[in-house]
Structure 1
Amino acid sequence: MRTSESEAKGLRRSLEKAQRDAEVDHLTGLPNRRAFEAVLEREHKAARAALDPLVLAFCDIDHFKRINDTHGHEAGDRVLRLIADLLSGISDDKCHVSRHGGEEFVMLFRGCTLTEAKERLDRLRESLAERRLVNRHNDEPFGQITFSAGVADVFDHTDPRAALKAADEALYAAKTGGRNQIRVAPKPGTAR
């Protein structure tokens, strides 16, 4: 009987570890897209019930392919970890950051207005753009590292997925508009 209990405990621990591993991006240590979707659903319900503002942001590292092509994928991985750490630095118990995939990150700001979330991201974006990073393996400068982002008020949209799409479209507008900027998604039905 003890053997069965011990095996069951071991299996439960293994299952819990597998579930955690399935929701964590191993490069950055951030929650992954799958985990973020669960957080988005939970926070959307809670924010709606509490009448809290809820803002989504899509962030993307500008010219990331150039970093990988010039400095190699290992250096690119270090830049991804740096951006993950910086974004995590502006998050708190009501702000969640996840790696969405590639060089893209998604953030959820609960209790922040659209303006406040944009300002937090903008301060971080400006701070990063002022830094001069050097590849520590060969002492070559990376050049300016920047990111672009799109932000959307979740409650301006029919559901969280629509808000996510709007934030993604605002990110695309930031990229096509010159990069290194934050764009706000327009409310549905308003001109761009």
Structure 2
Amino acid sequence: MFVSALGCLFHRCGLRPLALLLGSVGMLGACSPTFNWRELRLQGTPLQALMPCKVEIASRPVSLDGGTPVELHMHSCDAGGLTFALSWAELGDATRVPAALAGWRRASLSAIRVDPARVDEPATQWSAGVPGATQVMGLTALGTDPRGQPVQMRALHFVRESKMYQAAIYGPALKDANVTSAFFEGLKLP
């Protein structure tokens, strides 16, 4: 059983470094043909992440703080009935971070039709860390998707210098703790 789990980690999940293997024992349950974990390095950033499927990439200008628009880079994929998304933006000025972070978090709630005023309520908060980030804020909520179907969101917004990031999972239910842990614990800013 352990040998087949190692094979899963090395072949299907694409995890090669021994250090990652030693730190990933809890992820064994998340490794399956449905979740084909692979390391992703976001071009233009130091961010390293694990994604469970091949990503699609897009970008568009947005104003996160009500000021000058910045280019928002998005990487996302769908696996196991869930959508996994990584996004980042370079603000160019660290003084813009607080307002942009607040705006992005409110927009995350609005996207699933949850009142953005709830952004600071204890029920929408969760704690997590991202190695190398100077600020990390967790956000979780149950809302509805564009078709009116229930959707649960769990997101981390994090910062280093003037770069802001969001890592999020969306789905009808986020029941598998191994999958959510693998995604969020795979984030690193070396």
When normalised by structure 2's length, the TM-score is: 0.26
* Higher strand proportion (structure 1 or 2): 2
Larger helix share, 1 or 2:
1
Higher relative contact order (CA 8 A, sep 6+): 1
Normalised to the residue count of structure 1, the TM-score between the two structures is: 0.26
Q: Which has the larger radius of gyration?
A: 1
